Copies of this chain bind each other. A is one copy, B any other.
Amino acid sequence: MKNEKIVIIGAVAAGSKCAFKTKRDCPDCDIWVYTEEQFVSYSACGLPFYIEGTIKDADSLIVKTPKDYEKAGINIHIQHRLLEIKPKEKVIVVKNLKSDLIFETSYDKLVLACGARPFVPEIENQQFKNIFTLRTIPDGINIKNKMGTSKNALIIGGGYIGIELLEAFVKNGLNVTMIEASSHIMSLFDEDMSDDIEKYILSKNPNQVRIIKNDYVVSFEGDDNGVKFANTKAGGKIPTDLVVIAVGVMPNTEIAKAAGIELGVKNSIRVNKKMQTNISDIYAIGDCAENINLVSNTPTWIPLGVTANKEGRCCAINLSGKEDEFEGVLGSAVTRYFDYAMSLTGLNEKTAKNLGYDIVSEKVTKHDRTIEPIKEITIKVIADRRSQQLLGVQAIGCGDADKRVNTAASALSCHKKIGELVNLDLTYAPPYSASIDPLLTAFIALQDKLEKEQ
């Protein structure tokens, strides 16, 4: 509200969105932003594409600079680390990383947009050069620089970032090993879909790519020039001169926890729909905050840039004295490996089972359009047998898979039943679809299955 001092910790998607919108909606607010990073308001999702070379210049990942903050009337402090929150006194303790000066500053409202950081498993000898994680712009620049002189890359982790880095490294001529501790890469997808994805990846560049599953790296070997080998639990010895660890992220919430802020799923900060924590006048948004899954109405933690943006907007509206609620997420996501799209929304079979749903699913492989360039897509739809409610959709393939997932996402947020979805009025023309859209074919197949069971 007017004349309040609002302190925001973090300045990537959520923090930046919140700062700028609050200032626009409430010009009299006194806004202070602290980030321990050097860069603000950048597209972390673009980093693999910068490494790949599709995005030519790291600068173009930057949406706003500290100068843009200043021009907007926002007090921005880069390279300042949050050390402590004192909720009773309504002050925070901050360290200037350049001068090492530690100081206190007060707030009327505090917004935690602290983000998440790469989870790094225990591996011996991580001190060698050329072992990276990918989160920030300097990470991206470092990996890209090293890639230029590398022959054999190792990607630890078979998730979204792993797949995007795989494309980047393969396009740049490297031999790449991907190692995944679980039985499946891209494990947000169901196992049958993951199998299809892996099959495509291996068929696309059979000589450049090797995928190891059910195994993990226990130690590195190297010398002054950097890492040379990775040794696996199963006894494998992988020659490599470039390692990226991409096994997932964890929320930066230790300081919040120490201040008595309640944590939720996977130690993310529990918030209500107004993005408020359990402590008055402290908000949390973006990758450090917990989410509600809109399908199951249960707490979850799905840190994504698109959600950070929306939560930043919601928080800003509330800070400005109006009211807004962020209802939750579906976990909609997409990536690609060359021409092959991998897209999903809602619950996968495993998560749905764990939540107690009686799941039933169908999977169809169809042409994505009727005239060239015709490509195949595989769509899997998952529903709850009792309520017949749609729970999730996954779509993969070289065709237009992502369109179908977004259409389904929209339906998911309305808690539609399968029977209500078979007649969804989707567009059709030969360059865009089939007269029965593949998504509807999948819904019809599932509806037929449900009817046969009755």
320-362 of chain A: CB within 8 A of chain B: 326-336, 341, 343, 345
- Contact for A430 among B49, B314, B328, B436, CB less than 8 A: B49
Interface membership of A431, Cβ < 8 A: yes
- Contact for A406 among B331, B372, B407, B420, CB less than 8 A: B407
Interface membership of A425, Cβ < 8 A: yes
How large, as a class, is the contact surface on chain A? 35 or more
Asked if B410 and A408 sit within 8 Å, CB to CB, the answer is yes
* Residues of chain B with a CB closer than 8 A to A408's CB: 410
Docked complex Cα distance between A224 and B391 (Å): 65
400-441 of chain A: CB within 8 A of chain B: 400, 402-403, 405-411, 413-414, 416, 420, 422-433, 435-437
Docked complex Cα distance between A341 and B43 (Å): 28
Q: Which of A92-100, A233-241, A243-251, A300-308 contacts B (4 or more CB under 8 A)?
A: A300-308
Interface membership of A54, Cβ < 8 A: yes
Asked if B309 and A435 sit within 8 Å, CB to CB, the answer is yes
Asked if A435 and B329 sit within 8 Å, CB to CB, the answer is no
Chain B's closest residue to A412 (CB) is B425
Docked complex Cα distance between A164 and B371 (Å): 14
Docked complex Cα distance between A345 and B428 (Å): 11
Chain B's closest residue to A322 (CB) is B451
* Residues of chain B with a CB closer than 8 A to A425's CB: 294, 306-307, 328-332, 345, 409, 413
Copies in the complex: 2
Interface membership of A13, Cβ < 8 A: yes
- Binary interface profile of A, 21-48, with partner B (CB < 8 Å = 1, else 0)? 0000000000000000000000101100
Asked if B406 and A427 sit within 8 Å, CB to CB, the answer is yes
Interface membership of A310, Cβ < 8 A: yes
Interface membership of A55, Cβ < 8 A: yes
- Contact for A427 among B334, B423, B430, CB less than 8 A: B334
Q: Assuming the A-B contacts A407-B407, A435-B45, are A429 and B370 also in contact, with contact meaning beta carbons closer than 8 angstroms in the complex? A: no
Q: Assuming the A-B contacts A406-B406, A436-B306, are A426 and B49 also in contact, with contact meaning beta carbons closer than 8 angstroms in the complex? A: no
* Residues of chain B with a CB closer than 8 A to A430's CB: 43, 45-46, 49, 54-55
Q: How far is the CB of A229 from chain B (nearest CB, A)?
A: 33
Docked complex Cα distance between A331 and B425 (Å): 7
371-417 of chain A: CB within 8 A of chain B: 371-372, 400, 402-403, 405-411, 413-414, 416
Chain B's closest residue to A344 (CB) is B427
* Residues of chain B with a CB closer than 8 A to A429's CB: 45, 164, 333-336
Docked complex Cα distance between A416 and B329 (Å): 16
Asked if A432 and B334 sit within 8 Å, CB to CB, the answer is yes
Asked if B370 and A43 sit within 8 Å, CB to CB, the answer is yes
* Residues of chain B with a CB closer than 8 A to A341's CB: 432
* Residues of chain B with a CB closer than 8 A to A409's CB: 407, 410, 424-427
Given contacts A332-B425, A403-B407, A409-B426, could you give 20 more A-B pairs where the C-beta distance is less than 8 Å? A43-B435, A46-B370, A46-B371, A46-B430, A49-B370, A55-B430, A164-B429, A294-B425, A305-B435, A306-B435, A310-B422, A314-B423, A330-B425, A331-B425, A402-B427, A405-B427, A409-B427, A410-B414, A413-B414, A413-B424
A-B contact list, 27 entries, CB within 8 Å: A43-B430, A45-B429, A49-B431, A55-B430, A306-B426, A306-B435, A306-B437, A307-B425, A309-B435, A313-B422, A333-B429, A334-B428, A334-B429, A334-B432, A400-B403, A403-B407, A406-B406, A407-B409, A407-B410, A409-B410, A409-B424, A409-B426, A410-B411, A410-B414, A413-B414, A413-B424, A413-B425
Chain A residues proximal to chain B, CB less than 8 Å = 13, 43, 45-46, 49, 54-55, 164, 294, 304-307, 309-310, 313-314, 326-336, 341, 343, 345, 370-372, 400, 402-403, 405-411, 413-414, 416, 420, 422-433, 435-437, 444
